[in-house]
Amino acid sequence: MSSSFPDIASKLSSIAKDFHGRGWLLGTSGNLSAVVSREPLHLAMSPSGVDKGELTPDQILLIDEHGLVVSDKPTKPSDESPIHVRIAKARGAGAVLHTHSIWNTILSEHFGADGGIAIEGFEMLKGLQGVRTHEHREWLPIIENSQDMPALADRIGDTLKKHEHVHGFLLRRHGLYSWGQDLRQAKRHVEILEFLLEVLGRTLMISNRQKV
Amino acid sequence: MSSSFPDIASKLSSIAKDFHGRGWLLGTSGNLSAVVSREPLHLAMSPSGVDKGELTPDQILLIDEHGLVVSDKPTKPSDESPIHVRIAKARGAGAVLHTHSIWNTILSEHFGADGGIAIEGFEMLKGLQGVRTHEHREWLPIIENSQDMPALADRIGDTLKKHEHVHGFLLRRHGLYSWGQDLRQAKRHVEILEFLLEVLGRTLMISNRQKV
Amino acid sequence: MSSSFPDIASKLSSIAKDFHGRGWLLGTSGNLSAVVSREPLHLAMSPSGVDKGELTPDQILLIDEHGLVVSDKPTKPSDESPIHVRIAKARGAGAVLHTHSIWNTILSEHFGADGGIAIEGFEMLKGLQGVRTHEHREWLPIIENSQDMPALADRIGDTLKKHEHVHGFLLRRHGLYSWGQDLRQAKRHVEILEFLLEVLGRTLMISNRQKV
Amino acid sequence: MSSSFPDIASKLSSIAKDFHGRGWLLGTSGNLSAVVSREPLHLAMSPSGVDKGELTPDQILLIDEHGLVVSDKPTKPSDESPIHVRIAKARGAGAVLHTHSIWNTILSEHFGADGGIAIEGFEMLKGLQGVRTHEHREWLPIIENSQDMPALADRIGDTLKKHEHVHGFLLRRHGLYSWGQDLRQAKRHVEILEFLLEVLGRTLMISNRQKV
């Protein structure tokens, strides 16, 4: 929790490499951040437009609560930095991870008109912070995508307020955001949600129906 | 068979990393154990809540037949330790592996109401201990999931008694348990059962029918 | 951009290994090139018939604008060298990558009679050079395959002229060509197009319809 | 071609590790061989029951034309050694590789009653030795599985005689055999056939029909 910037940067690089290998961060998509200090709020964050399979610790930026770069590096932060900051504040999250996977992209559209996906009855859910039983019903909200970042951040803020206990959300035809107290927990949440989305997606193939 | 604890811990770590890479232990799910001594019964076991892709040998716990930690490590054993102990006793197993894969999760539900899956006619079955021909019919029981561990362990005990020759079982919407005389054999059994489940699952997609 | 041949050769080898791991260059299929000089036009290019998972920098050839080998190496360039040269000229591309993936092969046939695939509304599209919004509509032309290389190169030239803003094209039942200002961008474009093709392909499975 | 035994053993180990990673040799399934000398016929061969992801060069056996071990190692050769010998003789093959993949298992059953699979019109076919155009029609025979090895080897011999130009065959619900002049070519053939089988299999999912 009280990790130093170099340590956090190294972990972000390691997670990026792992997720890129799984196909969750292809084509420089996705971004990763972790809180370095609360007051003032500073986040270590992956830069924009970088191959996540080759992200090195020294490429990690330090940004402030406005998403502006604190460190004097030549790269710029992701356009989605405000979303990371918003989640870090609204949830007290210590880390925020954003992935573009095949299945989160497909299901964000498939269930888009429903406004979210209900995931229920899986043991895997117990890996989500605070969940004690597989009988838990997790709601994964789906938010319409937009290039208007402040508007999108507000929409996300509203969703987080409305759904206090969610562990992530989908942006439609865009990707998954999840978070945790620290990078370890955030990584765990991403793996769990990606796993469950793939289970739902492949179940649709077998059941041969439009909705589960 | 008469491996030392450090050797076993190292092997458990190696298998965990491999299976995590295949997506069978995502989100800290699953757990792995191997018998260190029979009398008293001591198992080397993966701790609870650890990223299996980064499990190190020194994190492996030593537990007794009640699932209590013998070694003085700060981590706690998995809630599912009693299941490992039960299988080690009932089967004389030297190693027990539990995976959460996409396909074992999906098929444990798809065939859940049938109480199990019959797998028959595959050469791959010959890799299961004691099976001599692909004409073998393997029954893979499916047991209802529960958070009541003693009750679940009893249910598993009953299943193992009823089906003397099975090489594994599924917990519904939860995962696969398999085992072997030693870690090598248990790993082989997991790979074979996961392979066959994926074959059945993808066959369902092609055949476009609800059941095989 | 002003990279030396050894540096480019090393990057080509690294991308080849990565793509082979993903199953996009199996069986010595596919080829990779990058411009070393513009005048005269010289390309660093992977040789014909080599296992891309084991491609070493010293195997990379230097070819001229006629696809002839400049360096005195015993291997021969790919038959598809003229296509690489054509793209480098027509687009001013600094790098050209050609992959054979499961999904680009399947969809090049599935949508073959339509002459191309329209990909629209995905955030991932923003990773393509010059695309500013997910509302972008990308056209991915499909060109009939042929063993008559000059004829095929002409057909490709016509397509590139007709569709000025495309970032790649498919050869029917053959594979994907994409390119970029440099290897980094070309790799990004391949990852994005392969990702989107897999999304479309798996969506077809769920929607259970012949066309999207 | 005139490689020494240590060199061949090292290559067999390397291919085994690669194919195991792709899920083609799970659960100790499959086997690999390469000719060391023609007269007398000696093959370097993977031993029975070994984890192919951990196969080391020193585990590779030397067998004669009767499938008997020449070297004095404690392991035994695969029961399928006679098949390797048969192919090495009938085709003059320098290497024989046998894989158990998800897709070769599924399609060997799906098309089993047809006695084989016709694969036609793919650029990828050009990677098969002697094939000059994607318009080539490759026949991949499917042979009924059996535990009677001499009978199976005879059946395979008949198939190889009847279909002189095939580059591989499937054993029903069992796996793929392919071969080549040397290990490099055999590996290429396996990758190509596995690729094309996956293309056919996934195409079936999209087309939603029982047969292509």
Burial track B55-74 (b if 16+ CB lie within 10 A, e otherwise)? bebebbbbbebebebeeeee
Q: Is B155 exposed, middle or buried (0-12, 13-18, 19+ CB in 10 A)?
A: middle
Q: Which residue of A has its CA nearest to C192?
A: A27
Q: From the centroid of its chain, how far is CA D105?
A: 13
Q: Is A9 a residue whose pLDDT tops 60? A: yes
Q: Which two tokens stand for residue B73?
A: 């490590």
Q: Which chains touch A (3 or more CB pairs under 8 A)?
A: B, C
Task: Reply yes or no: is the peptide bond before residue A40 cis, omega within 30 of 0.
Answer: yes
In the DSSP assignment, the letter for residue C163 is -
CB nearest D202 (choices: C29, C51, C106): C106
pLDDT of A209 reads: 43
Q: Is D208 a residue whose pLDDT tops 90? A: no
State ipTM.
0.95
Asked whether A90 and A155 are in contact (CB, 8 A), the reply is no
Angle at B150 between CA B38 and CA B64, to 5 degrees: 25
Q: Is C212 a residue whose pLDDT tops 60? A: no
CB nearest A27 (choices: C121, C124, C198): C124
Q: Which residues contact D72 (CB under 8 A, 6 or more apart)?
A: none
pLDDT digits (tens, 9 = 90+) for D95-134: 999 999 999 999 999 999 999 999 999 999 999 999 999 9
What is the torsion angle, in degrees rounded to the nearest 10, for the CA atoms of residue A118, residue A121, residue A123 and residue A129? 40
Strand partners, D119: D138
Q: Is A212 a residue whose pLDDT tops 60? A: no
Backbone angles phi, psi at A69, to 5 degrees: -75, 125
pLDDT of D73 reads: 78
Burial track A150-184 (b if 16+ CB lie within 10 A, e otherwise)? eebbebbeebbeeeeebbbbbbbbbbbbbbbebbb
pLDDT of C208 reads: 57
Contact C27 D134 (CB under 8 A): no
Q: Looking at beta carbons, which residues of chain C come within 8 Å of A205?
A: 205-206
Residue for token pair 């890129």: A20
Asked whether C40 and C64 are in contact (CB, 8 A), the reply is yes
Strand D168-171, strand D61-63: pairing? unpaired
Q: Which residues contact A168 (CB under 8 A, 6 or more apart)?
A: A140, A176, A177, A178, A179, A189, A190, A193
Mean pLDDT computed over C47-52: 94
pLDDT digits (tens, 9 = 90+) for B89-129: 999 999 999 999 999 999 999 999 999 999 999 999 999 99
D171 touches chain B (CB under 8 A): yes
In the DSSP assignment, the letter for residue B23 is T
Percentage above 90 pLDDT, chain B: 88
Q: Is C209 a residue whose pLDDT tops 50? A: no
Interatomic CA distance for residues C181 and C106, integer angstroms: 28
Interatomic CA distance for residues C122 and D70, integer angstroms: 60
CB nearest D124 (choices: C27, C51, C208): C27
3-state helix, strand, coil in chain D (%, to 5): 45, 20, 35
Interatomic CA distance for residues A205 and A195, integer angstroms: 16
In the DSSP assignment, the letter for residue C114 is G
pTM for the complete prediction?
A: 0.96
Q: Is D72 a residue whose pLDDT tops 80? A: no
